[in-house]
């Protein structure tokens, strides 16, 4: 599929997955001075900050391994700023969605893993 980056394809697939699971997408590719969150979504209990990692089936490492501690810190800082701008009564949660695609077709998903609560934010809630 010419013109579609692996990352953009994975994010579109993840957003569709979340909508199918009855999440409301609040923002996509939310950027601020701290970094970016791929998808911000909500259900009845949580506001979810989602990092989407897409890898081809022949990748050496799993997608979740790319969400390093440094990346997690940047996402938590970005989420904190988002929550200060857009207050919510929902509990924040940090998820990772892994998308594994066919080697030759980034829109052909071989595996999708939604890791709810993939990491903790520490005292993030206390800052609101």
In a domain, 66, yes or no: yes
pLDDT tens per residue, range 101-120:
988 887 789 999 999 999 98
In a domain, 69, yes or no: yes
Provide mean pLDDT across the span 70-87: 95
pLDDT tens per residue, range 25-66:
999 999 999 999 999 999 999 999 999 999 989 988 888 898
Q: Which of 67, 84, 68 is nearest to 33 (CA)?
A: 84
CB 28 within 8 A of CB 10: no
Return the pLDDT at 81: 96
In a domain, 101, yes or no: yes
In a domain, 82, yes or no: yes
Considering only residues 74 and 128, tell me which one the structure prediction assigns the higher pLDDT. Answer: 74
Instruction: Determine which of 51-60, 67-76, 118-127 has the lowest per-residue pLDDT on average.
Output: 118-127
In a domain, 122, yes or no: yes
Q: How many domains does the chain have?
A: 1
**Does the reported pTM lie above 0.75?**
yes
In a domain, 29, yes or no: yes
Considering only residues 20 and 101, tell me which one the structure prediction assigns the higher pLDDT. Answer: 20
In a domain, 1, yes or no: no
Angle CA 53–111–51, to nearest 5:
20
In a domain, 43, yes or no: yes
CATH, residue 17: 3.40.1350.10
For 57, the domain range is: 6-127
Provide mean pLDDT across the span 16-28: 98
């Amino acid at each position: 599929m010419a013109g579609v980056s692996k990352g953009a394809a994975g994010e579109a697939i993840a957003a569709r997955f979340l909508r199918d699971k009855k999440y409301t997408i609040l923002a996509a590719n939310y950027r601020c001075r701290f970094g970016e969150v791929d998808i911000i979504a909500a259900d009845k209990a949580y506001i979810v900050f989602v990092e989407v990692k897409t890898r081809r089936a022949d990748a050496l490492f799993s997608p979740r391994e790319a969400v390093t501690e440094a990346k997690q810190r940047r996402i938590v800082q970005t989420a904190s700023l988002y929550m200060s701008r857009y207050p919510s009564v929902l509990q924040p949660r940090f998820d990772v969605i892994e998308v594994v695609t066919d080697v030759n077709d980034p829109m052909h998903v071989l595996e999708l893993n939604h890791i709810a609560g993939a990491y903790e934010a520490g005292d993030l809630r206390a800052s609101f």
